[in-house]
Amino acid sequence: MILSSLAFENSGTIPQKYGYKHGNHSIPLTISEIPKGTKSLALIMDDPDAMGAVGKVWVHWVLWNITPNTKEILENSIPENSIEGKTDFDEIGYGGPAPPDKEHTYVFKLYALDTILNLKQGSTKIEVEERMKKHILTEVKLEGKFAP
């Protein structure tokens, strides 16, 4: 499975317009080579560098029940019938990069699952990860950097 973006290269710089304080447009993503047997996809975007600044990995986006025939997630939208969870901004939906101190690396993790997750909108990353256990067929990462 491959996860990429037209907005930035893997390990490249995420454009400012995708930042929480600069428009907060969700990043366009392209998905390919989804494995056979996939019933749904789940996406988690977080900031592990926030551990040093705020004492925890900061959750920016949780999205699940993405249909396996999805080839792209368009900018500032989510695929039909997918469900968004709560971020550490205490909001449902995308919360763009917002490093409080210096450049941070943001990690997009895409999971191919052998099930559809029975979770309501606003569920947390922890709840999604708990439900995904034993259902992950494969996972991939895409990383980008963003400076305040």
Assign residue 56 the CATH number of its domain. Answer: 3.90.280.10
Quick one: average pLDDT of 56-73? 97
pLDDT above 90: residue 40: yes
For residue 97, the enclosing domain spans 2-146
Question: In the predicted model, what is the mean pLDDT of the chain?
Answer: 97
3-state secondary structure of 65: strand
Place of tokens 């893997």: 10
Task: Provide the number of structural domains found in the chain.
Answer: 1
Closest by CA position to 93, among listed 64, 126, 135? 64
Quick one: average pLDDT of 22-27? 95
Quick one: average pLDDT of 77-91? 97
Quick one: average pLDDT of 49-73? 95
Distance in angstroms (rounded) separating the CA atoms of residues 83 and 36: 22
CA quadruple 2, 138, 43, 89: dihedral sign: negative
pLDDT above 90: residue 52: no
Across the beta sheet with 136-146, the strand order is: 12-13, 136-146, 104-113, 40-47, 58-66, 83-84
Distances 39 to 64, 116, 122 between C-alpha atoms, Å: 11, 6, 21
User: In this predicted structure, what is the pLDDT of residue 53?
Assistant: 84
Task: Work out the percent of the chain whose per-residue pLDDT is above 70.
Answer: 100
Quick one: average pLDDT of 96-103? 94
